[in-house]
Structure 1
Amino acid sequence: MQSIEENAVFHYALTGDIEGLQKHLENECLSGNEEPPEDLFWEKDEMGRNALFIACMLGRSTTVRELLKHGAHVNECTARGYSPLHCAALWGQLETVKTLVELGADMQAKNFRRERAMEVASRYSKMDCAGYLTWAEAKQDLQSYITHVRDTIADPEKVQGKLNKEDKIICTNTCSVKSDWIQNAKNPSIQDFIEQRRHIEDIIIPILSKLTTQPEVTAKASKN
């Protein structure tokens, strides 16, 4: 078993040698393995942190991208529940936080203290990271609601004929408008995302409420 110092990937993450890391990972892939061997990423320090965590703590975003590209897990956690995003946030590495969010880091993941990355950043007074994560969560919240609406109206088992054509058109068009807004809005604020979420709910909730309403015939039968 290799020591931490002998593990090449860990070494490159510590030193920030991106060219060395790229060559090493490419050589591993060319050696006949479709995926890098397990021991490329499982070696950890005494705190349970592997090369990805170290790169996040040191703010080496390019290294983070390479590690994730070659098989590291963006949402891996230490024994105490800290994710790479937690580590980047508590060390105040804003660009790395942005990179992790872009690459699918779970902003809702909680550590042993039940803290999200945003809350960890706040506790350690890394306000740039906390502010960005609050903004990113607001954006994700709006995106998730749009996805929820689209999935709901596309599911025959959920709709069961309770929505008419006009209802579906309103839902579809509203979701499209909000998606376009997300793509095209210039420097939207946290409050902008919150207001857009409220606006879409004002339109959609009355329509989707029909899905939880009993059909009139069934309702009358239940009274009798």
Structure 2
Amino acid sequence: EEEEEEKTGLLNPLLQPVLTGDVEGLQKIFEDPENPLYDQAIQLLLEKDIVGRNLLYAACMAGQSEVIRVLAKYGADLNDNTARGYTPLHCAAAWGRLETLKVLVVELDVDIEALNFRQELARDVAARYSQTECVEFLDWAAARLALKRYIAKVSATLTESEKGPGRLFKEDKNIILTACRIRSEWLETQLEASSINEIFEQKQQLEDIVTPIFTKMATPRKFGIKSDLN
């Protein structure tokens, strides 16, 4: 990705099918014992150039999404990083491979928060190279991740509440569980049909339901003292 980086002189024999999207050819190499490259396939899959990039990076830069699925199936590390901290996601973002980003993030669930040596997210790299559509998608992915994490946090708090003194009333617990389930199902069914604003709205709605209940749970209960003088 960096223009000043050197290029390796020895080409990986799997590079050509990766760059051309020859999925069938790759599958034969990995699955056919008669193929001359069969015994070396895994080694070639993991082999890196002098800056730390393997075949997966090439597939991401070339926008070969189906190849990426195949390489992942055979053991490629989707969250791998180079000597400078660039991940396959960073590379796809820099090259403006929007469909590849969607496969990596939505389908293969890669880490969108990985930082390179400049402390840049993939989103920041996309912005540096003026890949506007990629920036918008990765912003959407970040909003989606924030909602998923909030749902997980709320669920964990519910579990912890069962062990502590500030236990929830059954009715309150059911309200929260239902609210979390609805948002989880919404995330799964909407996928890319949702906008960033809609995701933020869903998170805000959940917070509006959960926060008062958890606040009530954390507030010490006051017990009145009856006087015998009355």
TM value normalised by structure 2? 0.81
Q: 1:133 aligns with which of 122, 132, 138?
A: 138
Listed as ranges, the gaps of 5+ residues in structure 2 are 1-7, 224-230
What is the match of residue 210 of structure 2?
204
Q: 2:108 aligns with which of 97, 103, 107?
A: 103
What is the match of residue 179 of structure 2?
174
What is the match of residue 228 of structure 2?
none
CA 1:38–1:22 in structure 2 vs 1: closer, same or farther (change >3 Å)?
closer
How many Å separate the matches in 2 of 1:153 and 1:36? 50
For each residue in 1:130-181, what CA deviation from the matched residue of structure 2 results, as whole angstroms up to 9, or x when unmatched?
Answer: 1111111111211221122123213466654521212211110111222233
Contact 1:85 1:107 in 2 (8 A): yes
Q: Which amino acid aligns with 1:193?
A: I
What is the match of residue 74 of structure 2?
70
Q: Percent identity?
A: 45
Q: 1:60 aligns with which of 58, 64, 70?
A: 64
What is the match of residue 22 of structure 1?
27
Rg comparison, structure with higher value = 2
Contact 1:142 1:193 in 2 (8 A): yes
CA 1:8–1:203 in structure 2 vs 1: closer, same or farther (change >3 Å)?
same
How many Å separate the matches in 2 of 1:39 and 1:193? 42
CA 1:214–1:40 in structure 2 vs 1: closer, same or farther (change >3 Å)?
farther
- How many residues in Structure 1 have an aligned counterpart in Structure 2? 212
Contact 1:4 1:44 in 2 (8 A): no
Contact 2:92 2:100 in 1 (8 A): yes
143-152 or 71-80, larger mean C-alpha shift: 143-152
CA 1:160–1:26 in structure 2 vs 1: closer, same or farther (change >3 Å)?
farther
How many Å separate the matches in 1 of 2:166 and 2:41? 51
For each residue in 1:168-207, what CA deviation from the matched residue of structure 2 results, as whole angstroms up to 9, or x when unmatched?
Answer: 1111011122223324448221011011111111111222
| Structure 1 residue 12, shift from structure 2 partner | 2.5
Q: What is the RMSD computed on CA atoms of the aligned residues?
A: 2.9
Q: 1:79 aligns with which of 64, 83, 92?
A: 83
Contact 1:86 1:117 in 2 (8 A): yes
